[in-house]
């Protein structure tokens, strides 16, 4: 769980993750938060099943994920944001294809089999467009490249060299698993989008960067 300035949601999301009825550990990486998040996380340092790490300087979402990965011990790894946009109970079905040995990479899709609840049309359009680019450049068949719920067989994620530190995590990991030959399995997930007023931080520049990263890794190794 990469976390940056999530004092309003951090307690609730930790409680929700810990309540999911599957065997798990929660690795939290605080990305040099400047609000009360760090003080709240101190309370969890000795809680069984939770490990907390702190960045001295802000690195970005991927930077925090990269810090967390080597500390994981499980057979399946997923990213979980520190906000309340997703429902951790979805991990029960999102991990199934990996447990059954049917897939090594599973993405939860916000757009599969459901009526749309996006707050911002531009985000939905951007996410769909980037997925279309992935399908064309990398021969995948996905609807949600930018989803937070990217679930990996641990050894697959651990062998991907990740270069970028910010929101490029999504396109970079998608490009690299595709180039390694993995077919991404998509399943529906719940999504409760937050507004900018509620703390959403990504913007259109992250979308342009994502497009660039997808094109770059298609043609550069």
Helices (H), the chain: 10-18, 37-42, 61-68, 91-94, 96-99, 121-138, 154-158, 169-179, 204-219
Encode burial over 138-152: b for 16+ CB neighbours within 10 A, e otherwise. bebebbbbbbbbbbb
Q: What whole-number distance in Å separates Cα of residue 136 and Cα of residue 145? A: 13
Question: Which residue, among 7, 4, 13, 14, has the nearest Cα to 67 in the 3D structure?
Answer: 4
185-188 β-sheet, strand order: 76-78, 150-153, 105-109, 185-188
| Least separation in angstroms between CB 159 and Mg ion | 26
Q: For residues 29-58, which are near ligand GTP according to CB under 6 A?
A: 31, 58
Told to check if 2 binds ligand GTP by CB under 6 A, we report yes
Q: Which is nearer to ligand GTP, 61 or 176 (CB)?
A: 61
With CB under 5 to 8 Å by kind, the binding choice for 82 among Mg ion, ligand GTP, none is: ligand GTP
Which of residues 6, 30, 31, 81 is near Mg ion by CB under 5 A?
Answer: 81
| Least separation in angstroms between CB 85 and ligand GTP | 6
Q: Token pair 């190794």 is at which residue?
A: 221
36 neighbors 7 (Cβ within 8 angstroms): yes
Q: For residues 82-141, which are near Mg ion according to CB under 5 A?
A: 83, 85
**Candidates 66-74, 76-84, 111-119, 176-184 — which segment interacts with ligand GTP by CB under 6 A?**
76-84
With CB under 5 to 8 Å by kind, the binding choice for 106 among ligand GTP, Mg ion, none is: none
**Candidates 15-23, 59-67, 131-139, 171-179 — which segment interacts with ligand GTP by CB under 6 A?**
59-67
Which of residues 26, 28, 52, 61 is near ligand GTP by CB under 6 A?
Answer: 61
> Which chain residues interact with Mg ion by CB under 5 A?
81, 83, 85
């Amino acid at each position: 769980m990469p976390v940056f300035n999530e004092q309003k949601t951090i307690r609730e999301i930790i409680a929700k993750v810990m309540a999911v009825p599957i065997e798990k550990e929660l690795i939290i990486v605080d990305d040099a938060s400047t609000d009360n998040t760090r003080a709240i996380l101190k309370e969890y340092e000795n809680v069984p099943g939770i490990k907390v790490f702190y960045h001295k300087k802000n690195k970005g979402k991927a930077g925090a994920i990269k810090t967390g990965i080597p500390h994981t011990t499980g057979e399946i790894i997923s990213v979980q944001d520190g906000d309340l946009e997703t429902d951790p109970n979805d991990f029960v079905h999102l991990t199934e294809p990996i447990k059954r040995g049917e897939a090594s990479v599973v993405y939860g899709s916000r757009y599969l089999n459901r009526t749309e609840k996006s707050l911002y049309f531009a985000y939905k359009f951007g996410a769909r467009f980037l997925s279309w680019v992935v399908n064309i450049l990398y021969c995948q068949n996905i609807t949600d490249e930018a989803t937070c719920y990217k679930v990996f067989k641990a050894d697959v994620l651990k062998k991907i060299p990740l270069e970028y530190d910010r929101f490029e995590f999504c396109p970079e990991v998608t490009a690299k698993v595709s180039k390694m030959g993995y077919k991404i399995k998509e399943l529906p997930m719940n999504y409760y989008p937050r507004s900018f007023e509620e703390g959403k931080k990504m913007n259109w520049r992250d979308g342009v960067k994502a497009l660039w990263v997808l094109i770059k890794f298609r043609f550069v190794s």
